[in-house]
Amino acid sequence: SHLYGLKPQDFKMPIPTFNLINGGKHGAGNLDFQEFHIIPSIKKTYAEALRMAEEIYQAVKEVLIQQGAIHSVGDEGGFAPNLFTNLDALEVLMRAIGLTSYQFRTDVFLGLDVAAGTFFKDGKYKIRDR
């Protein structure tokens, strides 16, 4: 009954995050971290966030082609590039954002799903970046 009494303007679609680069078990095997996300600002509407994600996705593709790093699409829909380190993947996202009209830390943010259990060995977290 509570939902029945709400007006359409009382609803707001949640802002999704977008997994643009796949690593770990979902990628080409050369990045330790599993997912590299962009996170649109909560000030954006759902439609604006979706448009932003598509524009940045295309820019990521362009950056990876320029670097000769495009390999395939991972099993979760993000690119599974040939990159050397997790930092390389973050730099690709930053370059891609820079190719668009969006501003990092105002319009869009970065997020990670590192899936840390996949690189915990012998009581330590071991990643290739370090």
Q: What is the mean pLDDT of the chain?
A: 91
Q: Where are the alpha helices (DSSP H) in 37-129?
A: 46-67, 86-98
pLDDT of residue 130: 61
Inter-helix orientation angle 86-98/46-67, to 10° = 120
Tell how far CA 82 is from the center of its chain.
16
Q: What is the mean pLDDT of each run of 10 residues along the chain (130 residues)?
A: 73 90 83 96 96 98 94 86 93 99 98 94 86
Domain ranges of the chain: 19-120
**Euclidean distance between CA atoms 80 and 47, whole angstroms:** 26
Q: Quick check: 41 and 109 in contact, CB under 8 A?
A: yes
pLDDT of residue 122: 94
